[in-house]
Amino acid sequence: MRVERQVGVRLFHTTRVDSRMTSTTFHYRVQLTLLDRPETGIRTGWLRCATCGNLVGLGIQSAERTRARKRRELLVLVLCVIAGAGLVGYVGSLPDEGASGGLIAVLAILGVVLFFVLVVSGYLLLAEQGVGITEGRANGPHRTQPYGAEGVAHLLRKRENTPTPFIDDEF
């Protein structure tokens, strides 16, 4: 699993929310930023929002920590596939008239739970980039989203030795 030394981040600032009876529309501005990963552990600090000027608390994980999280999600995904295959094999081996209604209900619920865990772990495997807004920092109308590999290459071309706009915590 390839994890780069730098990570691209989209910082979203929600500017307006329109609520109607059947829909809600979010209006936002996006700031693209390229951040350097720490060598080890987690780097916490602040990123200044280009829209409002406020500081947004971020945490950036090292490449090794991000790889470990991705490996864990891959393991959960593989275990769900194996368990799902075993469940399908077991249900297929049941006699047509011998299975009780309670057993079928339990197996159906187990199948739904396995499928849910499979989908969530697959999403987390793809979405995990090792960066996000830190808890408890009063970040207001902000959220983050990873920026794909193509986007990181684009940001690297545009960067041209400009410093990262990330302010480290002073502990």
**40-63 pLDDT per residue, tens:** 888 888 888 888 888 888 888 898
pLDDT of residue 78: 92
Mean pLDDT score, 86-106: 76
DSSP string, 38-61: PSSSEEEEEEE-TTT--EEEEEEE
Q: Which of 146, 156, 168 is nearest to 70 (CA)?
A: 146
pLDDT in tens, 118-150: 998 888 888 778 888 777 666 778 877 766 655
Per-residue pLDDT, 76 = 92
Indicate the pTM of the whole model: 0.70
- How confident is the model at residue 155, as a pLDDT? 57
Residues 62 and 38: their CA atoms lie apart, in Å, by 5
pLDDT at 171: 36
Q: What is the percent of the chain with per-residue pLDDT over 70, rounded to a whole number? A: 80
Type of residue numbered 119: V
Average pLDDT, the chain: 79
Percent over 90 (pLDDT), the chain: 9
